[in-house]
Chains A and B, each alone.
Chain A
Amino acid sequence: MSRVQLTDVTKRYDDVTAVDNMNLDLKDGEFICLVGPSGCGKSTTLETIAGLTKPTSGEILIGDREVTNLPPKDRGIAMVFQNIALFPHMDVYDNISFGLRLRDFPQDEMDERVDEAARVVRMQGMLDRMPSEMSGGQRQRVAIARAIVRDPDVFLMDEPLANLDAKLRVNMRTELQRLHKQLDTTIIYVTHNQAEAMTMSDRIAVLDKGQLQQIAPPLTCYNEPANRFVAGFIGSPSMNFADATVGDGTLDANGYSISFDTTAIDGVGTGDAVEFGIRPEDIYLKSNSAEAEDPSRTFSVTTDVLEPMGDEIFVYLKPILGASGEAADFEERQGLLMSVDPSSDISEEEDVEIVIDRARLHLFDDASGDAISHGIVADSEIGTADDGVQAD
């Protein structure tokens, strides 16, 4: 149990900066997920913490010790790898006790600890099996037992569930959470699977291009993304984005507009280019507009493709045509994606009316991508006429 601190950690390869000025401060006993797309530097960050890779510059503290230049074995860490990495020439007992044997533990204490670790991961009675004789889930459990048997200060997990099948992955996810509750050890968990990140972690660190984008509890990342990247990365299906301009008390996006009080938000003025984002579940059919916290005026759109998921239906809406007849510039011109209740009476190629929840609309700076505001408020003076709903 230890806090982990990274200060200005940078890892540069010949021509690539894998990790760029990373600052992280992880509390004792915290479960942190590092998420990001492939090549964002999350694994490299983990490797620098493990000591498998030396940072080009910066400082790493585990507990109160500076470990930047210590070899992995002296850092008090344990690691679980994506490819599981059990030693194929050793049976389960030898695999689990490998670290203990290297540290010259007495035989009886070693037996005790291995038994305990095997019990925690529910692998008792399989200690004499070889890794090749076990299923993927069992191997992963042995790998976890090997990590916990040494009672490390920090657990590092590099996509430990990525190689398991979907059902097993969900099971192991629950087991890892149970394990974390039981051991109360700091866990740093790398994944590109945001469901894992959202469900397991105390805080999520979102990385892109080697830089930390946001570190916050999962719901904060979801509801108040720090920038456009986090907004797009967290949440599935991902947020809708469109370019827009701030008008006089309106947000104009190629031919349609939403009224809002520009003065209520710092940092935007009339004429500013912004990008707005809205999650699929924050778009409502007009008939359900009461569910929206602060519904906008209605828009007429045509449905394109429906994706019934069982608990909800994803509806692709055809690009809204602007006054000039050109499609509004939604991301890759795919149109808007909304999710509706499965009981909704909706079909493909149907004209529907939708409202957008203004309170859930995110504004991002067009140039930097930084979030300007999460939610906008309607302007009380202008625009009820074209807004369609009463302002508050």
Chain B
Amino acid sequence: MSIDARNHDDAETFDGSGDGTGDEENKSRIARWADDWIQNPEKAYAVMLVFLGGVLLTTSLFPLYWLFNVSMAPPGQTDIPLLPTTIDLSVFIQVFQQVPFARFMFNSLFYAFTVTVFVLLVGSLAGYAFGRLEFRGKTPLLFSLLVLSFFPPATLFIPLFRAFNQQVPMLGLFTLPVEIYGTPGAVVTPLSAFTMPLAIFILTTFYGQIPDGLEDAARVEGTTRLGALFRVIMPLSAPGVATAGILTFITVYTEFFFSFLMTGNSAAEWAPVVDGVIAFQTQYTVRYDLQAAASLIAIVPVAILVVVAQDKIISGLTQGALKE
């Protein structure tokens, strides 16, 4: 016996001709609708897609709209209407006038840039070794890297803080020669370490895919192994390098915990952009409008980066996944 509703005996009752009561007519319209969808599933998919896309867009874009709304509200107003009553873009300039917000942004961008360069350099060397060389203990080493990346960075904060700030002897062997708390070093070093494993994994996959012949050819032609890495292997792995670089950049730029705690509060003390936003909060007043405007401005660099590089990121991530 068929379970297809259209072939079922009862199906006739839904085949409304429009001469029944209103209730019946309503019912049959839904039935016809459902019938249509069953026969043309792509219609259902299209509707679902639009619906899902709408939900996703709303959930991701509404907070940004809300931030904009908040920034448009006059200082001190806590009751934010759904539509801004006035559009006054001068807050976006005020942000830079009241606090050295440009410097805060520079600090964060500096961290992101430095860590990215460092991670790509060191990660490339590691990726080369893991992806292209055979050596004893390779798998355990790669595995331990993976395990290390599972540690919540916060657990390492206290020991790092003491090492950077109070100069306790590390492993009982040495102390850092200078106090690096409050300097870029206190942010760049731990964040480099935390972002390194992912970058190494991405680069290992990509570098491992470059045929041996190309590296051999480069070496015979006159490069060293290192030269072959930078002249041949890295350019050919451009999507992978871009992916690793951008993921690192975004991670560090948006990082809060270490960059906030390892530095002072003022821009001159290498405080990150988060401190810039907080700077609009004094003991007695909170300028929510300026904070919202500052937050929006802080998003811009990452947004630009993602828009420019999204093709590369997607191709990088999928390529790495598919070709292995």
Task: Say if the beta carbon of A99 comes within 8 Å of chain B.
Answer: yes
Q: In the complex where A71-B224, A82-B213, A83-B213 touch, is A88 in contact with B219 (Cβ < 8 A)? A: no
Q: Contact partner of B217 among A71, A79, A89, A102, CB < 8 A?
A: A79
Task: Say if the beta carbon of B42 comes within 8 Å of chain A.
Answer: no
**Chain A 142-174 residues near chain B, CB threshold 8 A:** 146, 150, 156
- The answer to whether B216 and A79 touch across the interface, beta carbons within 8 angstroms, is yes
- The answer to whether B223 and A79 touch across the interface, beta carbons within 8 angstroms, is no
- The answer to whether B211 and A83 touch across the interface, beta carbons within 8 angstroms, is yes
Q: Please name the residue on chain B nearest to A102 by beta carbon.
A: B222
Q: In the complex where A72-B220, A79-B216, A87-B217 touch, is A102 in contact with B236 (Cβ < 8 A)? A: no
- Please measure, in the bound complex, the distance between the C-alpha atom of A248 and the C-alpha atom of B257, giving whole angstroms: 97
- Please measure, in the bound complex, the distance between the C-alpha atom of A85 and the C-alpha atom of B211, giving whole angstroms: 8
A86 CB to nearest chain B CB (Å): 8
Interface of A is mostly: loop
Q: In the complex where A87-B232, A89-B235, A102-B227 touch, is A73 in contact with B213 (Cβ < 8 A)? A: no
- Please measure, in the bound complex, the distance between the C-alpha atom of A83 and the C-alpha atom of B214, giving whole angstroms: 9
Chain A residues, Cβ within 8 Å of B219: 51-52, 71-73
A121 CB to nearest chain B CB (Å): 16
**Chain B 191-228 residues near chain A, CB threshold 8 A:** 211, 213-214, 216-224, 227
Q: Please name the residue on chain A nearest to B235 by beta carbon.
A: A89
Task: Say if the beta carbon of A78 comes within 8 Å of chain B.
Answer: yes
B216 CB to nearest chain A CB (Å): 5
- Please measure, in the bound complex, the distance between the C-alpha atom of A84 and the C-alpha atom of B214, giving whole angstroms: 9
Q: Contact partner of B223 among A81, A83, A89, A102, CB < 8 A?
A: A102
Task: Say if the beta carbon of A206 comes within 8 Å of chain B.
Answer: no
A62-99 to B contact mask, C-beta < 8 Å, 1/0: 00000000011100011101111111110000000011
Task: Say if the beta carbon of A50 comes within 8 Å of chain B.
Answer: yes
- The answer to whether A52 and B216 touch across the interface, beta carbons within 8 angstroms, is yes
Query: Max chain A CB contacts within 10 Å: which of B216, B219, B220, B227?
Result: B220
- The answer to whether B216 and A81 touch across the interface, beta carbons within 8 angstroms, is yes
A33 CB to nearest chain B CB (Å): 20
A31-73 to B contact mask, C-beta < 8 Å, 1/0: 0000000000000000000111000000000000000000111
- The answer to whether B213 and A81 touch across the interface, beta carbons within 8 angstroms, is yes
Q: In the complex where A73-B223, A102-B223, A102-B227 touch, is A87 in contact with B218 (Cβ < 8 A)? A: yes
B137 CB to nearest chain A CB (Å): 14
**Chain B 14-55 residues near chain A, CB threshold 8 A:** none
Chain B residues, Cβ within 8 Å of A146: 217, 221
Q: Please name the residue on chain B nearest to A87 by beta carbon.
A: B232
B270 CB to nearest chain A CB (Å): 38
- Please measure, in the bound complex, the distance between the C-alpha atom of A201 and the C-alpha atom of B224, giving whole angstroms: 32
- Please measure, in the bound complex, the distance between the C-alpha atom of A170 and the C-alpha atom of B68, giving whole angstroms: 72
- Please measure, in the bound complex, the distance between the C-alpha atom of A52 and the C-alpha atom of B223, giving whole angstroms: 12
Chain A residues, Cβ within 8 Å of B221: 73, 78, 98-99, 102, 146, 150
A85 CB to nearest chain B CB (Å): 4
Chain B residues, Cβ within 8 Å of A87: 214, 217-218, 232, 236
Chain B residues, Cβ within 8 Å of A73: 219-224
- A residues sitting closer than 8 Å to B (CB atoms) are 50-52, 71-73, 77-79, 81-89, 98-99, 102-103, 146, 150, 156
Pick the 10 closest A-B CB pairs, nearest first.
A85-B213, A99-B221, A102-B222, A85-B217, A73-B222, A79-B220, A83-B213, A81-B213, A72-B219, A72-B220
* Extra contacts besides A87-B214, A88-B214, A150-B221 (17): CB < 8 Å: A51-B220, A52-B216, A72-B219, A73-B223, A79-B216, A79-B217, A81-B217, A83-B211, A85-B211, A85-B213, A87-B217, A87-B218, A87-B232, A89-B236, A99-B221, A102-B221, A150-B222
